[in-house]
Structure 1
Amino acid sequence: KPEINDDATYDNGKKVVPAFLLDPVSVDRTNYRKVLVDSGYIDAGELR
Structure 2
Amino acid sequence: MPQAVIDTWGIIWAYFENNTEFIRSYTTDFEEYRGPDQIAIHIGVRG
TM-score with structure 2 length normalisation? 0.22
> Which structure is higher in helix share?
2
Greater RCO (CA < 8 Å, at least 6 residues apart): 2
TM-score with structure 1 length normalisation? 0.22
Larger Rg: 1
